[in-house]
């Protein structure tokens, strides 16, 4: 009986110890708290560096670039500006804004822009494509002002000639008159309102340009010999009419030949420079600008033959 009682006590003790062992193992077997993952896994929220840049950095420049310029004909390649020693005319911020207004503004804005461009004179040569396009504007006033602006640009606008010839047939008399004035200012020719004569003359000049483009010297360094004597002269009222033949080499036709402050456009490489002079000493400066942006000038001193 005592043996049975002793065995029962041992069994109860064993069960109690087993129960205590399971309670101690439970904490070690349980998974680590999920909160601890936050110290290892980066937050899913974007870092400050990923914040998009402020939208105002993408805003267009305060000076609008005329998006319409590519729409204008690409055949207009202005010659070098008369004030810029061989450099092509630059589209300044001011001129770009005016061109944008000329091509995209309402009528009053287009009129104001054309007036301001005309006031810039030869410095507006970079706006030639826009001015040529404005010759077809719906407003007759804008068309006339565009022609006036081309006249103020002067011989540098030589390649706007076909558009001005077309404007001679415009139904608006004011546009016709402005186009004729521009043609005379650019070419030094005067065929009146005879559209056919102007077209014939321009076809001849275009043929000269095409022929010159295929010549061996085209595109070479621009130059011309310094005059040492007159090629011709005759007595006229108020003095003597003198002629110097400017023989141009290199460059690309058409050219702008400037004698002191007077300028003329030509497609010929042998340009007869005619002017009235007096006195026994001829001391002037000749400058030639080429359509490829080159420019060269020479001063000359000639003893007048009428003083011999």
The mean pLDDT value for 244-249 works out to 96
What is the enclosing helix (H) or strand (E) of 270? Answer: strand 270-277
Closest CA to 246 of 219, 218, 227, 222: 227
Alpha carbon distances (Å) from 1 to 4, 6, 9, 10, 167: 5, 9, 13, 15, 138
The structural architecture, per CATH, of the domain 232-307 is Sandwich (2.60)
| Residues ≥6 apart with Cβ < 8 Å to 135 | 143, 146, 147, 163, 164, 166, 167, 175, 179
**Contact yes or no for 153/121 (Cβ under 8 A):** yes
pTM of the model: 0.62
Q: Determine contact, residues 192/164, Cβ cutoff 8 Å.
A: no
Q: Which CATH class is domain 69-213?
A: mainly alpha
Q: How does pLDDT run across 33-69, given as a tens digit for each residue?
A: 333 323 333 333 333 333 333 333 222 233 333 333 3
Q: Is the pLDDT of residue 271 over 60?
A: yes
Please work out, in degrees rounded to the nearest 5, the angle formed at the alpha carbon of residue 252 by the alpha carbons of 247 and 253.
70
Both tokens of 255, joined, read: 């050219």
pLDDT at 291 (0 to 100):
85
Which pLDDT belongs to residue 69?
Answer: 30
What would the DSSP string read from start to end of 45-58? SPPGGGSPPPGGGG
Dist. CA 4–CA 9, nearest whole Å: 9
Calculated CA dihedral for residues 225, 230, 232, 237, nearest 10 degrees: 130
Full DSSP string of 153-211: HGGGGGGGHHHHHHHTT-S-HHHHHHHHHHHHHHHS---TT-HHHHHHHHHHHHHHHHH
Q: Is the pLDDT of residue 284 over 70?
A: yes
What pLDDT sits at residue 88?
A: 58
Q: Give the per-residue pLDDT at 4.
A: 44
Cβ atoms within 10 A of the Cβ of 280, count? 12
Element (H, E) at 275: strand 270-277
Residue 83, pLDDT > 70, answer no
Mean pLDDT of 199-218: 86
Any idea what DSSP says for residue 107?
A: H
Domain with CATH 2.60.40 in the chain: 232-307
Q: What 3-state class would DSSP assign to 239?
A: strand
Query: How high is the pLDDT of residue 135?
Result: 96
What stretch(es) of the chain map to CATH 1.25.10.10?
Answer: 69-213
């Amino acid at each position: 009986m005592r043996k049975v009682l002793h065995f029962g006590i041992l069994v109860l003790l064993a069960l109690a110890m087993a129960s205590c062992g399971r309670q101690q193992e439970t904490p070690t077997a349980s998974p680590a708290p999920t909160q601890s993952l936050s110290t290892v896994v980066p937050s899913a929220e974007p870092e400050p560096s990923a914040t998009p840049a402020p939208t105002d950095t993408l805003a267009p420049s305060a000076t609008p670039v005329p998006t319409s310029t590519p729409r204008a004909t690409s055949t207009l390649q202005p010659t070098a500006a008369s004030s810029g020693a061989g450099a092509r005319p630059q589209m300044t911020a001011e001129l770009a804004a005016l061109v944008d207004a000329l091509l995209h503004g309402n009528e009053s804005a287009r009129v104001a822009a054309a007036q301001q461009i005309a006031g810039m004179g030869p410095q507006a040569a970079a706006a030639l494509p826009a001015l040529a396009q404005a010759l077809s504007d719906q407003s007759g006033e804008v068309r006339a002002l565009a022609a006036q602006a081309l006249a103020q640009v002067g011989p540098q606008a030589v390649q706007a000639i076909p558009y001005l010839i077309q404007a001679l047939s415009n139904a608006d008399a004011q546009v016709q008159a402005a186009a004729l004035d521009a043609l005379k200012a650019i070419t030094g020719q005067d065929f009146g309102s005879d559209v056919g004569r102007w077209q014939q003359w321009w076809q001849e000049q275009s043929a000269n340009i095409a022929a010159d483009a295929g010549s061996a010297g085209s595109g070479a360094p621009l130059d011309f010999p310094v005059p040492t004597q007159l090629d011709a002269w005759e007595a006229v009222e108020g003095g003597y009419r003198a002629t110097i033949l400017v023989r141009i080499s290199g460059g690309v036709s058409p050219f702008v030949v400037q004698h002191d402050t007077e300028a003329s456009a030509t497609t010929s490489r042998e340009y007869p420079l005619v002017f009235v002079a007096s006195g026994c000493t001829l001391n002037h400066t000749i400058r030639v600008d080429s359509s490829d942006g080159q420019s060269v000038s020479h001063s000359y001193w000639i003893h007048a033959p009428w003083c011999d």
